[in-house]
Structure 1
Amino acid sequence: MRHLGWGVVVACLLSLPSFAAGASLLVQVTDQNGQPVADAVVTVVPPAPWSGAANLRSTSRTIDQKQLTFMPYVEVFRPGDSVVFRNSDSTRHHVYSFSPAKAFEFVVAPGESAAPLVLDKTGVVAVGCNIHDGMISYLYITDAPYYARTDARGRVSFDALPPGRYDVRVWQPRLPPGRPDLRERALVIAAGESKTLAFPITLRPDPRQQFDREHTHY
């Protein structure tokens, strides 16, 4: 029996059916005025429970404080990840949260960082500064297998998704409070397919802009 040359092997691999390829999904989030929405968390969730999170390694992310602003405004974590609050300002900050997912309170001196804080529950943690009312940040803790935060164009993309049926969920701090994530149910993605999903949402005014307007004389 003759051995096949590499050219024949490659040609055979290229001729395999497309079900071996993963699917891709682009999500575009816009507001009620058709403008792109940044800092929205998009999760892609299969109907069956996902157990892969137990095998993921925990990570630590830093929320910096610069010019009386939390950076980033929204950050995404998995249960078991840690957050570190860094103070890059010349004034101290009193960082706190009363959120059920994680309540805490500590003072961070200029040029210092707080000890890592483990986020062990899913949910949204609203973070403020007890000294500077205009400072606010949100920690979104999810066990979804696929997640991303929209960029300035209001977009996120997911590559190499296994084909199947998914719920696509969107959360943003300016959505009405006390409601679950907005959801696009039963999105079916075929093997090798590239799909785009337009996701319009209705948002409340940005409270950070209101604070800036009230303090422009400082």
Structure 2
Amino acid sequence: MAVHAGTLTVTAIDSHGLPVGDAVVTIDRANPLAAANTHYIDQKGETFIPYVEVMHPGDSVVFRNSDHTRHHVYSFSPIGAFQFILSPGESSAPVVLDRSGIIAVGCNIHDHMIAYLVVTADQAQLTTGQGQARFDGLPAGRYTVKLWHPQLAPGRPPMSATVDVPAEGAAPALPIALRLLPDPRSVVDREHLDY
């Protein structure tokens, strides 16, 4: 008996038609990976790398400090509150995240530093710099696609659409246009300007 599988490609674009990276695209199918993974968020150049990380319930996260300055990493999220003071070269203890949701992470010393942990039980992909997320090997059927990005207006639900994936081949590409707020990481730190 032949196994049929389809492909779904989602493209995130901004209001000017430019590709949007770091958008989390989920489809309403359970994550096929059963084993828990450890994810690493580094701090380099007073920036969290990566900006957005997709995780699944049961996964853990470790924060590394590759800078030459101290960082105070924290989150007040109800699904994953933590804080670590990390000197240069140090790493945090692993934090296990058991519940789905979005966790904003900051640095109490450097206000411009921000990252997001997106914990979901659904299949999820992060869009590339070309704004694309691709799901292969999908059974035929109708899927609900949701897209979230940190620069969407807060308090609003993720963008969503439905798409039919054929038994073989690719579904029509699904473009989703986003109206994004300015990147909070590029806000000028006036406290340290010489004026």
TM-score, normalized by the shorter chain, greater than 0.5: yes
- Residue 21 of structure 1: CA displacement? 2.3
- SS class of match (2:180): coil
2:188 match = 211
The answer to whether the aligner puts 1:114 opposite 2:83 as a matched pair is no
- SS class of match (1:174): coil
- SS class of match (2:39): strand
2:3 match = 20
Note closer, same or farther for the CA distance 1:23–1:216 as it changes in structure 2 (3 Å cut): farther
- Residue 213 of structure 1: CA displacement? 8.6
How many residues end up aligned between the 2 structures?
Answer: 194
- SS class of match (1:208): helix
1:42 match = 25
Give distance in 2, aligned partners of 1:120 and 1:143: 10
- Residue 211 of structure 1: CA displacement? 3.1
Alignment partner of 1:99 out of 71, 74, 77: 77
The answer to whether the aligner puts 1:87 opposite 2:65 as a matched pair is yes
Tell me, which stretches of 5 or more residues in structure 2 are unaligned? none
Deviation per CA, 1:154-173, whole angstroms, max 9, x where unpaired? 11111111111110000000
Question: % of aligned pairs identical?
Answer: 51
2:102 match = 124
1:29 match = 12
Give distance in 2, aligned partners of 1:111 and 1:28: 37
Q: Is the radius of gyration larger for structure 1 or structure 2?
A: 1
Give the structure with the larger helix fraction: 1
1:194 match = 170
Give distance in 1, aligned partners of 2:191 and 2:50: 22
1:178 match = 155
- Residue 71 of structure 1: CA displacement? 0.2
Deviation per CA, 1:102-133, whole angstroms, max 9, x where unpaired? 11112111101000000111000000000000
- SS class of match (1:20): coil
Deviation per CA, 1:74-117, whole angstroms, max 9, x where unpaired? 00000000000000011110000111221111211110100000
Tell me, which stretches of 5 or more residues in structure 1 are unaligned? 1-15
Give distance in 1, aligned partners of 2:44 and 2:10: 30
Q: State the Cα RMSD in Å.
A: 2.0
1:56 match = 34
Note closer, same or farther for the CA distance 1:103–1:21 as it changes in structure 2 (3 Å cut): same
